[in-house]
Amino acid sequence: MKIVTYLPSFQGELMVRRIDEEIPATARAVPPIAGYHIVAHSETGHHHVIDGVKAEVYEAADDEFIGWIKSLGGDGAEITHQRGFDTHEALHLPPGIYEIRRQREYTAEGFRRAAD
């Protein structure tokens, strides 16, 4: 099987890249909350989200820093930043599968997901 990778895109503390692979069978589906999947949490409530109807989100079973987005048919989906000022530009994801990597930061207790 030939694996093709695409250049990554970034939005805040997320790196997103399209992949020509399947989502691992061990990944767990993340249900939407109030119609959206939160792909990156913000300590102030300004999350990075994607529409729960236009995309499915999965988390790695053994690594909180890795996930996947399956952007569904039609026009695809967009990751948006829920903040009314100083926002990150929306990131459009045409239909396909995307790997997401979350930035990490070090604390005295160890690494945790970075949050803006």
Question: Tokens for 113?
Answer: 């997901």
Residue 63 sits at φ, ψ, to 5 deg, of: -150, 105
Whole-model pTM? 0.77
User: For residues 68 and 100, what is the distance between their CA atoms, to the nearest angstrom?
Assistant: 5
Domain map (residue ranges) of the chain = 9-113
pLDDT in tens, the chain (116 residues): 444 445 566 566 788 899 988 999 999 999 999 999 988 776 666 678 899 999 999 999 998 889 999 999 788 998 888 766 555 678 888 999 999 988 655 455 644 444 54
